Amino acid sequence: MVTPATVQSHRRALDKFELTKSKDAKRAIEQLVRVSDKMEKMVVPGALDRTLEIQKRLSKFETRISLVGQVKAGKTALANAMIGQPGLLPSDVNPWTSVITSLHMNTAQPAGKSAVFQFFDKEEWSEMTTMGGRLGELAARTNFEDEAEEMRDQVRELQGRAKQRLGVNFKLLLGNTHSFGEFDHGLVKRYVCLGDDDETGNGSNGRFADLTKSADLYFDNPQFPLPVVIRDTPGVNDPFLVREAVTLNNLAETDICVICLSAHQALSTVDIGLINIIMGLQHEQIILFVNRIDELEDPHRQINEIDSYIRRTLKTQKLPQDIPIVFGSAKWGQADISGDYDALSEQSRAAYQSLKDSRASSGNVTRLPNGKSAVESDLSGISQLMKVIDAKSAHDVSWPFIEKLRDECLDLVNQSTLLLRDAVGSQNTAGATMSASDLSARIAQIISKLNDDYDALTKSSLKMTTYAMSDVYRSFILNGKRDLEKLVDKGEGLKQWSPETETLRRDLISAYNNFSNKCTAQLREIMQETADSIAGLYADVLGTESGLFPVVGPTFSRPKTPVFLMKTMTIDLSTGWLGRMFSKQRKKATYVANFEKLATEEMAATIHDLQQDYIQEFATQTRVQLQGFMDEHIKTLRNLVLPADAPEVAQMRQSFGLEREVTQRIAALDEIRDALHHVTRHDCDISHLSVTAI
């Protein structure tokens, strides 16, 4: 059985998996932890809550990696190889019953629990077949109730099997969890793999799988310097729309997305569609891993051919050219970990030897940190993949997080230092000409301008997205109508006709990303202007020509990933069925009108979801951040202009301690400030990652 304390790391882990970028980031995070612990004792009482909140965020930091791809692409085997546990997760999972399995490396975990399996609740289970669920919603909008009923029958079959298998326990399990202090392959298989279809329904495999919503497994793994969560997903095209929602919510929260392709069919039409969907993420988050090269006859030659094909296809499809591509074999990776190469098929061993010989003779050898060559140690591609993940994680996840918290710590240290110096009279506030009433008036002006600018940005964002999304849909509708009219005029059949929904998704995501980038940039400008105004106010209050320190405003992330653009659309559900419906019509105008009605309804739903669930939510969250930032500085400024004999001043100074203690705290805060200035990003250049790793 596996417990967090007994997980074996990779064989030769230190040789192959030197995650140097993450180690640098780990040292910086550890430094921030030490600094925040000191701050807890030294900052003024008004800064304590934010200091404790920073400590909490540091303790919960993790990099989230999602593995996605088609069935049989080898995602699960890849997950096993990445964590150094060959065979732990069952790789024969039926796509209809697979669940999101999260592998938590060195993260916080439930007390005494190493494995937690969450079941669907009663409402989610019911939604699979009722008209109130997403399937019913789509069926009602498309008038394809017959086809939707076919899907319901498939769901009912699964539900019936689950009820038969679980008996009286079925209802008791809904909405509950099963937790274990240890686990092994057999236990995991009961919850995530298709069950035995025996007559008694008492098969051990997959007993609970039909009901499982998610699985969380926890490990202590020294291979990973920082906490990491690797999620093995069933993909975004799962037939169950309930599981689709779970997968999309996961993608919305991912930091790095590894798209697993099969070397036999790298970048098929389905893969292109998957990449287009996932482009809702920033493309910097995407890595392509071409798996199963062990099944190629001449891997050395074919890898180069496949790489060229993928690059050409990306260019043709107008997809980013700098997405890293790594070639490898999860089977070889697992064999390398276990040392059991005899478990590989004869073909796989032959391909391994062929690639090793070809690389040695060609001189195409990558040197690893210990001096070994890729010929001997990296045919699987796993270490190359981990190095790419390491670089991306440090550059795009760890260091932005570190720098954001470092700046927040500096802001708290500066505010505390200012108040403490004022308390012992080392800051000449007595000469300041600004009264409390003048300060209030200035603060009111800053807040008024901030609110006006923010309201204007929110209003323009709503308008901007309406126009942008409408333009994309209008182009889609016009092109679809034109194609339909041509087919009708030529007298060709429409049964297999379907609109270009992948192009629609790509254009919608592109429009959303353009909006998101502009909105975030404008928000940062507003925040910087506000921070500069606050800094100027400090200078006026203290009677200095310039601020004693730069005021750092909160850092805003981009609006969340638009997963609503990835989910099954009405038009997707209609693909193929549109032609059947159109075949019952006779007039060209009817064909065109039906298509236009369907697309227009989808457009209205898209714009509504975007404005309500994304823009308004983002506006609310960022306004709360802004308000918190303003409240803290307003409190500090008002304390600075209080009369020396004011009761509040006496109370505040009493809370700081004796003059000698205050002086010591100021000195300690100065040291903390110096330490924070030394928390700087090391070399995290990732420009080389677009080069194919083979």
pLDDT digits (tens, 9 = 90+) for 555-596: 777 777 676 676 655 555 444 444 444 555 456 677 778 788
Q: What is the pLDDT of residues 540-550, one digit of tens each?
A: 887 776 556 67
Per-residue pLDDT band for 231 (boundaries 50, 70, 90) equals very high
Q: Are 100 and 76 in contact (CB under 8 A)?
A: no
The alpha carbon torsion through 341, 344, 345, 349 (nearest 10 deg) reads -50
Scanning 182-298, the segments in alpha helix (DSSP H) are 185-192, 241-252, 269-278
Q: What is the pLDDT of residue 367?
A: 46
Q: How far is it, in rounded angstroms, from Cα 313 to Cα 273?
A: 12
Residue 597: is its pLDDT beyond 90? no
Q: How far is CA 291 from CA 75, 257, 332, 349, 603, in A?
A: 9, 15, 10, 16, 37
Q: What is the pLDDT of residues 275-314, one digit of tens each?
A: 766 665 566 788 999 999 999 999 999 999 999 988 888 8
Which of 78-82, 578-582, 611-615 has the least mean pLDDT? 578-582
Number of Cα atoms under 13 Å in the Cβ half of residue 440: 4
Structure tokens at 453: 């600018």
Q: What is the pLDDT of residues 82-132, one digit of tens each?
A: 999 998 988 755 554 457 899 999 999 888 899 999 998 888 777 665 544
Q: How far is CA 196 from CA 190, 213, 239, in A?
A: 10, 19, 21
Per-residue pLDDT band for 686 (boundaries 50, 70, 90) equals low
**Residue 303 Cα to chain centre, angstroms:** 29
Q: How far is CA 89 from CA 75, 102, 183, 186, 598, in A?
A: 10, 11, 11, 9, 42
| Of 255, 237, 202, 216, residue with least CA distance to 65 | 255
The alpha carbon torsion through 41, 45, 46, 49 (nearest 10 deg) reads 60
For the chain, give the mean pLDDT.
Answer: 79
Structure tokens at 19: 């995650």
Comparing 25 with 250, the larger pLDDT belongs to 25
**Tally of residues, the chain:** 694
Q: How far is it, in rounded angstroms, from Cα 125 to Cα 167?
A: 16
How deeply is 3 buried, as exposed, middle or buried, from its count of CB atoms within 10 A (0-12, 13-18, 19+)?
middle
Comparing 615 with 571, the larger pLDDT belongs to 615
Q: How far is it, in rounded angstroms, from Cα 232 to Cα 80?
A: 10
Q: What is the pLDDT of residue 199?
A: 39
Q: What is the pLDDT of residue 216?
A: 96
Q: How far is CA 328 from CA 325, 351, 385, in A?
A: 10, 12, 9
Average pLDDT of 408-434?
75
Average pLDDT of 380-398?
93
Comparing 184 with 427, the larger pLDDT belongs to 184
Strands 100-105 and 228-232: antiparallel
Per-residue pLDDT band for 466 (boundaries 50, 70, 90) equals confident
Structure tokens at 618: 């983002």
Residue 377: is its pLDDT beyond 60? no
Q: What is the pLDDT of residue 660?
A: 76
Average pLDDT of 20-30?
94
E strands along 124-232, which residues? 177-180, 212-219, 228-232
* Residue 340: how many other CB atoms lie within 10 Å: 11
Q: What is the CA radius of gyration of the chain?
A: 29
Residue 614: is its pLDDT beyond 70? yes
Per-residue pLDDT band for 378 (boundaries 50, 70, 90) equals confident
Average pLDDT of 476-488?
85
Q: Are 213 and 173 in contact (CB under 8 A)?
A: no
Average pLDDT of 664-676?
94
Q: What is the pLDDT of residue 602?
A: 82
Q: What is the pLDDT of residue 230?
A: 97
Strands laid side by side in the 100-105 sheet: 177-180, 115-119, 212-219, 100-105, 228-232, 63-69, 256-262, 286-291, 325-327
Phi, psi (deg, nearest 5) at residue 13: -60, -45
Residue 376: is its pLDDT beyond 60? no
Q: What is the pLDDT of residue 145?
A: 57
Q: What is the pLDDT of residue 509?
A: 80
Comparing 460 with 549, the larger pLDDT belongs to 460
Phi, psi (deg, nearest 5) at residue 65: -120, 130
Q: Are 67 and 87 in contact (CB under 8 A)?
A: no
Comparing 470 with 574, the larger pLDDT belongs to 470
- Helix, strand, or coil (residue 230): strand
**SS3 per-residue string spanning 347-386:** HHHHHHHHHHHHHHHHCCCCECCCCCEHHHHCCCCHHHHH
Q: What is the pLDDT of residues 621-662, one digit of tens each?
A: 888 888 888 988 888 888 888 766 666 666 666 666 667 788
Q: How far is it, in rounded angstroms, from Cα 48 to Cα 615?
A: 32
